[in-house]
């Protein structure tokens, strides 16, 4: 007998039901520990208020309309960043009304979608190419909308962006002249600085980025082009940008969840940065226990991203996640403390691509499931 | 104006339309080159017919009901393997009627789902724990079904499975005695041998696995327990198992698609194994071109799995994918051959976890989109 496909079943379509004890969540599942999540959101809100800067929270971390709404209503965020048009569209459809696509959009069809989206939300995008400016302008005019444009400058990450200074000024001028577009400022994200473990390394890289941003802002000002927005900064460096007196819109994303990699970075005293705590976990079950000193759990490479190394085991001293394959993780357990069915909580190596693997966040508090939030834009990579 | 959410839009919900030229596919997208895919399926079909063994194709690679159906109707597969109950359920709901969950299922709810599924398909599962046997038997009796059980033995991979020989025989005896279960044979997959580059290494590891399987089969026979199925073998080693005269059911998965990692393995002459060819690609677009010698494409860590290294650029000499971040890939292009909007085809490092990132396969032939196949069990990790 076929089950009713319209009725989600715990463990087939969704990992939990609201009110369920955490021990009963079907594994592997992606968990948000809500107290810590809310603390993280509050911590950054307090920070931006103290420092007089805006926060445009990066939704590429979570891809969730529920998280985005919470960041905007309770966390001081003026809007969100997305990395893809399809990701932005998913959040706009769910009610988010202020989005910067903090990336280049060069495909003609995607440019059309971007302009269409500007009918129901404030929409901005980054540019680093003159021909792209012209195409964006045409699409904006055709749709009868205005698209805000940030000139992206490469401040050391070696990825997208024109060179600071003259190149940026030429592009900004072209935007300012284009009907349908508004020159809104600079995108100056130093992505490669975010995960440098040593504080002094991050400080030096952001110092150099600030110098390049200042040079560009001054040049633009001399040409009569004011930068309403000077944007950039991630969870690894945002305090440095905020103190620059130049960046006015931070784009932190990972701060809501944190991950094993971000917790390896150190502050000026050589201590782990402790402003934010882990609120994101994978709960996994021991599914095979046949060898002394080891156990096998049900979270492998389809339950977490592998790019930033193995996950950290949370709350079980002496147990270490030592090896993964597609659907399995091998746990070293020298004391043989684990038995079949035991739950183990993991801190993912890297939050963003891990969240993109799941359809549902299971929000938990005080040992119970409090909410189920869809990963609204999961898989929206276009 | 909100677009009609019920109408998929190319580049937001789906990457292509049937009949579209491949150049117009929204990127990044997951491509099946259908000629090569069909060749791969035919090649293994011919092999198993020649060698007198069965193929139970592993659906964990593709998670697609369409691919599974093709493997069963055209590729000689007697059924499929799945790694998770939810994955199996997705395929059974789509009409696949013979599934081995080639993994342990220990969660009580999932055991219930497994038994339920046995009402509409032939269902088998692997076991490596006596208590698990009892729980499976209870569930099978409650549902009024029979579940076939393979005793999984650890033949060197160091993951799941009891020890070959006596331990396996004890467990097999327990299954044979249990109402609702059927002892169906042995699961003896040497997972860690599959990706060893040197042929002699793979040969030695499978030789040792075969020795352990033989010892176990003989012991079981002496106790009156016949092994209808002796299962294992992946794309890296299947010819060795097939020639053992002992393994009779191969579980190859990656052969349909191949990937950069599998193409690093060598045959007995030290040449790359060429029996199968790459049929799986990621098509990506150049989205930023601001620095001489480099370009940035739109396929990063959310478009491919990172566990087996960087993707290989296909069909563009001199262009190399050198670095990834969440939504970007940096291409080294010393000749500056790439311009904004150019399409680049990538061979993913590892096919299985890469497929699990996408909702849709775009099947292409002769430069046109021929079919769109859902990744039926995407994200079904429970």
| Residue range A120-176, pLDDT digits in tens | 999 999 999 999 999 999 999 999 999 999 999 999 999 999 999 999 999 999 999
Phi, psi of B351 (to 5 degrees): -70, -45
- CA–CA dist B377, B62 (Å, integer): 9
Band (A321; pLDDT cuts 50, 70, 90):
very high
CA angle B270, B59, B374 (to 5 degrees): 115
What is the arithmetic mean of pLDDT over B91-105? 98
Report the percent of chain B where pLDDT is more than 70. 98
Write the Ramachandran bin of A341: left for phi over 0, alpha for psi from -120 to 50, otherwise beta.
left
Instruction: Break chain B down into helix, strand, coil percent, rounded to 5.
Output: 30, 25, 45
Output the CA–CA distances (angstroms, integers) from residue A370 to A18, A19, A334, A367, B12, in the order listed.
6, 6, 35, 9, 31
Band (A1; pLDDT cuts 50, 70, 90):
very low
Query: Is residue B5 predicted with pLDDT exceeding 70?
Result: no
Which residues in chain B have Cβ-Cβ distances shorter than 8 Å to A83?
Answer: 326-327
CB atoms A306 and B306 under 8 Å? yes
Going along chain A from its start, the domains and CATH numbers come out as: 22-32+274-374 (2.40.37.20), 34-264 (3.20.20.10)
CA angle A267, A271, A272 (to 5 degrees): 80
Band (B4; pLDDT cuts 50, 70, 90):
low
Band (A69; pLDDT cuts 50, 70, 90):
very high
CB atoms B1 and A86 under 8 Å? no
Query: Is residue B95 predicted with pLDDT exceeding 70?
Result: yes
- Work out the end-to-end distance of chain B between its first and last CA atoms, rounded to an integer number of angstroms: 38
**Hey, is A161 helix, strand or coil?**
coil
Report the percent of chain A where pLDDT is more than 90. 96
Name the CA radius of gyration of chain B, rounded. 22
Q: Which residues pair with A54 in a beta bridge?
A: A249
More confident residue, A226 or B8: A226
Complex-level ipTM: 0.96
Query: Is residue B124 predicted with pLDDT exceeding 60?
Result: yes
Q: Which residues pair with B162 in a beta bridge?
A: B153
What is the arithmetic mean of pLDDT over B213-237? 97
Residue B226: per-residue pLDDT: 97
Band (B6; pLDDT cuts 50, 70, 90):
low
Which residues in chain B have Cβ-Cβ distances shorter than 8 Å to A163?
Answer: 290
Output the CA–CA distances (angstroms, integers) from residue A145 to A122, A133, A135, B11, B194, in the order listed.
10, 15, 14, 21, 55
- CA–CA dist A241, A259 (Å, integer): 22
Which of B302, B304, B376 best probes binding to A when mutated, by most A CB atoms within 10 angstroms?
B302
What is the arithmetic mean of pLDDT over B251-268? 94
Q: Which residue of B has its CA nearest to A153?
A: B290
Residue A7: per-residue pLDDT: 72
DSSP A79-119: EEEESSHHHHHHHHHTT--EEEE-S----HHHHHHHHHHTT
pLDDT tens-place string over residues A162-213? 999 999 999 999 999 999 999 999 999 999 999 999 999 999 999 999 999 9
| A11 → closest Cβ in B86, B120, B306 | B86
Spatial contact of B237 and B206, defined as CB atoms under 8 Å apart: yes
What is the arithmetic mean of pLDDT over A227-234? 98
More confident residue, B56 or B6: B56
Phi, psi of B279 (to 5 degrees): -115, -5
Phi, psi of B184 (to 5 degrees): -110, -10
| A326 → closest Cβ in B288, B352, B379 | B352
Residue B1: per-residue pLDDT: 41
- CA–CA dist B26, A82 (Å, integer): 18
- CA–CA dist B272, B198 (Å, integer): 10
Mean pLDDT computed over every residue of chain B: 96
Q: Give the distance, in angstroms, between the CA of residue A56 and the centroid of all CA atoms in the same chain.
A: 11
What is the arithmetic mean of pLDDT over A50-55? 98
Q: Which residues pair with B76 in a beta bridge?
A: none
pLDDT tens-place string over residues B17-44? 999 999 999 999 999 999 999 999 999 9
Query: Is residue B3 predicted with pLDDT exceeding 60?
Result: no
DSSP, res A289:
-
Is B9's Cβ below 8 Å from some Cβ in A? yes
Spatial contact of A72 and A44, defined as CB atoms under 8 Å apart: no
Band (B249; pLDDT cuts 50, 70, 90):
very high
- Work out the end-to-end distance of chain A between its first and last CA atoms, rounded to an integer number of angstroms: 39
pLDDT tens-place string over residues A277-309? 999 999 999 999 999 999 999 999 999 999 999
Band (A39; pLDDT cuts 50, 70, 90):
very high
Query: Is residue A250 predicted with pLDDT exceeding 60?
Result: yes
Q: Give the distance, in angstroms, between the CA of residue B266 and the centroid of all CA atoms in the same chain.
A: 20
Mean pLDDT computed over every residue of chain A: 96
CB atoms B340 and A129 under 8 Å? yes
Phi, psi of A321 (to 5 degrees): -85, 115
CB atoms B306 and A305 under 8 Å? yes
CA angle B369, B381, B174 (to 5 degrees): 125
pLDDT tens-place string over residues B147-194? 999 999 999 999 999 999 999 999 999 999 999 999 999 999 999 999
Residue A4: per-residue pLDDT: 58
CB atoms B285 and A341 under 8 Å? no
Is B285's Cβ below 8 Å from some Cβ in A? yes
- Which of A 182-211 lie inside 8 A of B, CB atoms? 191
| B1 → closest Cβ in A120, A290, A324 | A120
Give the residue among B143, B128, B150, B225 at the shortest CA–CA distance from B180.
B143
DSSP A185-219: EEE---GGGTT-SSHHHHHHHHHHHHHHHHHHHHH
Is A166's Cβ below 8 Å from some Cβ in B? no
């Amino acid at each position: 007998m076929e089950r009713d496909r319209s009725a989600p079943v715990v463990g087939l379509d969704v990992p939990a039901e609201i009110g369920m004890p955490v021990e009963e969540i079907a594994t592997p599942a992606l968990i948000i520990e809500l107290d810590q999540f809310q603390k993280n959101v509050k911590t950054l809100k307090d920070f931006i208020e103290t420092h007089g800067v805006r926060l445009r929270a990066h939704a590429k971390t979570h891809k969730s309309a529920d998280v985005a709404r919470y960041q905007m209503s309770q966390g001081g965020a003026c809007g969100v960043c997305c990395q893809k048009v399809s990701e932005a569209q998913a959040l706009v459809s769910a009610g988010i009304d202020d989005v910067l696509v903090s990336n280049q959009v060069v495909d003609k069809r995607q440019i059309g979608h971007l302009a269409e989206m500007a009918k129901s939300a404030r929409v901005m995008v980054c540019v680093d190419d003159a021909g792209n400016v012209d195409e964006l302008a045409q699409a904006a005019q055709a749709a009868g909308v205005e698209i805000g444009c940030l000139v992206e400058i490469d401040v050391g990450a070696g990825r997208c962006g024109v060179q600071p200074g003259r190149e940026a000024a030429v592009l900004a001028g072209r935007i300012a002249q284009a009907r349908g577009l508004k020159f809104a400022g600079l995108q100056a994200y130093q992505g490669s600085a975010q995960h440098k473990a040593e504080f002094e390394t991050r400080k030096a890289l952001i110092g150099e980025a600030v110098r390049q941003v200042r040079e560009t802002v001054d040049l633009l000002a001399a040409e009569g082009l004011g930068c309403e927005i000077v944007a950039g900064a991630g969870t690894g460096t945002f305090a440095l940008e905020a103190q620059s007196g130049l960046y006015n819109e931070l784009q932190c994303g990972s701060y809501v969840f944190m991950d094993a990699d971000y917790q390896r970075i150190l502050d000026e005293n050589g201590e782990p940065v402790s402003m934010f705590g882990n609120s994101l976990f994978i709960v996994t079950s021991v599914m095979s226990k046949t060898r002394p000193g080891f156990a096998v759990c049900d979270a492998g490479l389809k339950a977490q991203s592998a790019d930033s190394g193995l996950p950290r085991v949370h709350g079980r001293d002496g147990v270490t996640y030592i090896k993964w394959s597609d659907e399995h993780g091998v746990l070293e357990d020298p004391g043989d403390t684990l038995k079949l069915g035991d739950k183990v909580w993991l801190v993912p190596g890297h939050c963003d691509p891990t969240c993109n693997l799941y359809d549902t966040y299971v929000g938990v508090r005080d040992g119970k499931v409090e909410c189920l939030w869809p990963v609204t834009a999961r898989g929206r990579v276009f």
